[in-house]
Structure 1
Amino acid sequence: MTSKALYNELEQVDVQFVGVEISGERHDYCMVYTSFFFGKVLMFCMRTGKQILLSSDCLFDVDNMKKMFQIEDEEDINHLILFLKDVMRKREDSQQGVR
């Protein structure tokens, strides 16, 4: 068996910690903004340790979001989607110097 290194990159990244309570349950995430992953955000669920690659386009696919975040309730996933849209919009605005 042989191995071949595919990449070994060191990068300074921005990390954002966000949390929201939905239907009495905490949702805490670490969002890693990097130049890797084609502009997607690398998210870690602080409760489960699950990792997710998330783009702003993902936020429009409710069924996929339910699967990724393991949230079945339609109202709960919509609250999370609205929260993440707001977080990502504010991040984009701050990167463009808009307040």
Structure 2
Amino acid sequence: YKESYDELFAKGEQQRQLSKEFVREWLIENNFQGKEGQTMPEMSDMFVNQVSERYIELYESITGSKFERADITSVLSRVEKNILKFLTAYYR
């Protein structure tokens, strides 16, 4: 962000944002402003992945820590394990 600021400014290009503004702009570009009766546009997998990558980048910039992605190969098993862990801890 800081590294590219001057270059983008000199070119008159939009700055990278440390916010959800890019999602809001996408919604507006796709004719959605959250008004009554509007249907939210469907986000493509590609856009959702871009959003995820931006938030991961933001997380890493703010915390200085590497983001650890959850293992999604066995979600049901993980949920069952966590429920059992909770029940065991709170209902002995």
Query: What's the TM-score once normalised by structure 2's chain length?
Result: 0.35
Higher normalized strand content (fraction of residues): 1
Higher normalized helix content (fraction of residues): 2
Point out which structure has higher relative CO (alpha carbons under 8 A, 6+ apart). Answer: 1
Query: What's the TM-score once normalised by structure 1's chain length?
Result: 0.33
